[in-house]
Amino acid sequence: MLLNMIKVGGYIMILNELANQVKKVRSSRAKDMRRNRTKNMVIGVGIGSALGVAAGILFAPKSGKETRQIIADRTSETIKNFKDNVAATKAKISASATEKGSRWREAGQKGVEAVKETLKKSGEDEDKKKKSPK
């Protein structure tokens, strides 16, 4: 009877664990769906805005030459801003990598020093054991 109770308890624990895993999977799927919806909405807003700006420029009451000049100016300005952002991001990544590299180097040096010290102490202990009379 006791063995049956233990088996039932084990089965209950297994079923509980399976139920928890199902909850986690459902939660994860829901988060992914929300993330995808948000991403799609942002992309749609961006494309819609770009099309709206382009339509506004093209249908503006200015001559074709002026409109083309405006488009060229804004395009070159956008490209310049993009390049500046890429350069700034590159600089941040480089600085972060350099900082982390120096941290790793320092940690490695401390580890090497600790090993050297341990080996030195163990060598001294060996020498003391050899010198002590038995």
- The tens digit of pLDDT for each residue in 36-84 reads 898 899 999 989 998 988 888 777 777 778 878 888 899 999 999 999 9
Q: How far apart are CA 67 and CA 74, in angstroms?
A: 11
| Stated pTM of the model | 0.38
Listed range (17-26, 44-53, 107-116, 117-126) with the worst mean pLDDT:
117-126
Task: Specify the amino acid at residue 30.
Answer: A
Token duo for residue 86 = 């890429």
Predicted local confidence at residue 110, as pLDDT: 87
pLDDT of 134 strictly over 60: no
Q: How far apart are CA 46 and CA 41, in angstroms?
A: 9
Predicted local confidence at residue 47, as pLDDT: 93
Q: How far apart are CA 118 and CA 124, in angstroms?
A: 10
Q: How far apart are CA 18 and CA 43, in angstroms?
A: 37
Q: Is residue 32 within 8 Å of residue 39, measured between CB atoms?
A: no
Q: Where are the domains of the chain?
A: 1-59, 64-134
Please choose, from the candidates 79, 71, 66, 32, the residue with its C-alpha nearest in 3D space to the C-alpha of residue 55.
71
pLDDT grade for 133, boundaries at 50, 70 and 90: low
Mean pLDDT of the chain: 85
Give helix 2-58 / helix 64-131 axis angle, nearest 10°: 140
The percent of residues above 70 in pLDDT, for the chain, comes to 93
Q: Is residue 67 within 8 Å of residue 58, measured between CB atoms?
A: yes
Cα distances (Å, whole numbers) of residue 81 to 77, 85, 87, 121: 6, 6, 10, 60
Of 58 and 111, the one with more pLDDT: 111
